[in-house]
Amino acid sequence: MTCAFRPSIAEAAPLHEQYPTQLNPGTPLPILPHSPGLRSRIWYGAATNASAIQAARDGVNLMSSTLVFEHGDKPFGDIQADQLRAYRRAWREAGHDWTPRVSVSRSIFPLLSERDRGLYGLSASGDQVGHLDSSIATFGRTYAADPSTLIKQLSQDRALAEADTLLLTIPNQLGFEENWSIIRNFAEYVAPALGWEPARPGVVPTGYDVDEAVAE
């Protein structure tokens, strides 16, 4: 019989924090079957600076969405960029030995035709501040414009510049063809001007160097 050592990535919480109560506190919680490199493929969605910092300490990649539970007199992109920088500082302080990935989400609609303008032309909006779950949140704007205008607008988005990955939020209720049209138009007419390159077979995307990103 052979025995493979599989290090745990977590431990059972104190009894008063468990529901249902099943394990002794401190019991290792391995992921089975073992998957080499799993930690580097785990993402955590953070809505606050504190949760982003905790994600860095835990050693997982960061996803920051179209809202954050922070607010102030700065644009959403600047507020979110502060969150990404806090994450990377905490990552460096934690001493992890690999480079994490950081993503942000945006609602972006390139308008290339009368049909596009009819469907999405009125979607454009500015940042908004409101209440969500008894907290004050800042909601990011929706971008809807011709490609040249989008490129100018997105080039001024600090968080987009800080992130190595962009997730597009699209209205999936419209079906595959409309969704594919939005993604294709963005990939062909907007993304290249922002430094995006198509994925290559066998090449795994990597994040920006933490030390360089924090130093900038």
Position 4 in a domain: no
Whether 137 is in a domain gets the answer yes
What is the reported pLDDT for 84? 96
The pTM is what? 0.80
**Is residue 74 one of the residues assigned to a domain?**
yes
Residue 181 lies in a domain: yes
For 113-155, write each residue's pLDDT tens digit.
999 999 888 888 887 778 777 778 888 889 999 999 999 999 9
| CA nearest neighbour of 191 among 142, 150, 144 | 150
Q: Does 155 fall in a domain?
A: yes
pLDDT for 50? 93
**Triad 192, 194, 200: Cα angle to 5°:** 50
The angle subtended at Cα 89 by Cα 86 and Cα 95, nearest 5°, is: 140
Residue 148 lies in a domain: yes
Residue 116 within any structural domain of the chain: yes
Compute the Cα dihedral for 140, 143, 148, 151 and give only its sign: positive
Structural domain that includes position 128: 36-198+208-215
Say what the pLDDT of residue 128 is.
79
CA proximity to 76, closest of 118, 26, 138 = 138
Which one, of 160, 163, 159, lies nearest residue 190 by Cα?
160
Number of domains the chain is built from: 1
pLDDT band at 216 (very low <50, low <70, confident <90, very high): low
Residue 9 within any structural domain of the chain: no
Residue carrying the six token digits 């699209």: 170
